[in-house]
């Protein structure tokens, strides 16, 4: 999957963000099972019920039957590093070498999941 194509889907997904409280709109796109799944952050007045763009995109893929995320792109106005909850969900559905692209209009960084979450809690610990 071409990085620029996946990033363009994250940029497009960001347009659907519902972020009236933080005014921080985020878009994400994941490549899984030969398809691209988009997601945006969705806030709630009860902040604990807010859902990050990465998890929305991953859950869309999983609900479509895809259990192996191959690549992820995340886009926002400032660097949208994934939160701990998103990294833990990535751990469940990605390999440690899954590429995670984090971008703004001015900058793009690429990581492997293992670099962002070096000591995950995994199903092997159960």
Q: What share of the chain is helix, strand, coil (3-state, %, to 5)?
A: 35, 30, 35
Asked if 54 is an active-site residue, the reply is yes
Can you state the angle between helices 3-14 and 53-63, rounded to 10 degrees? 110
Which is catalytic among the residues 43, 54, 70, 99?
Answer: 54
CA angle centred on 89, ends 8 and 116, rounded to 5°: 75
Catalytic residues: 54
């Amino acid at each position: 999957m071409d990085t620029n194509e996946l990033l363009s889907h994250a940029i497009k997904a960001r347009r659907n963000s519902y972020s009236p409280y933080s005014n921080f709109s985020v878009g994400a796109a994941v490549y899984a099972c030969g398809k691209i799944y988009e997601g945006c952050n969705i806030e709630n007045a009860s902040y604990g019920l807010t859902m990050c763009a990465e998890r929305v995109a991953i859950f869309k893929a999983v609900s479509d039957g895809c259990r192996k995320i191959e690549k992820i792109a995340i886009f926002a106005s400032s660097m949208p590093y994934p939160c701990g909850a998103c990294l833990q969900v990535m751990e469940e559905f990605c390999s440690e070498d899954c590429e995670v692209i984090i971008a703004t209009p001015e900058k793009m960084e690429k990581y492997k999941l293992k670099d962002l979450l070096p000591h995950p809690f995994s199903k092997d610990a159960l």
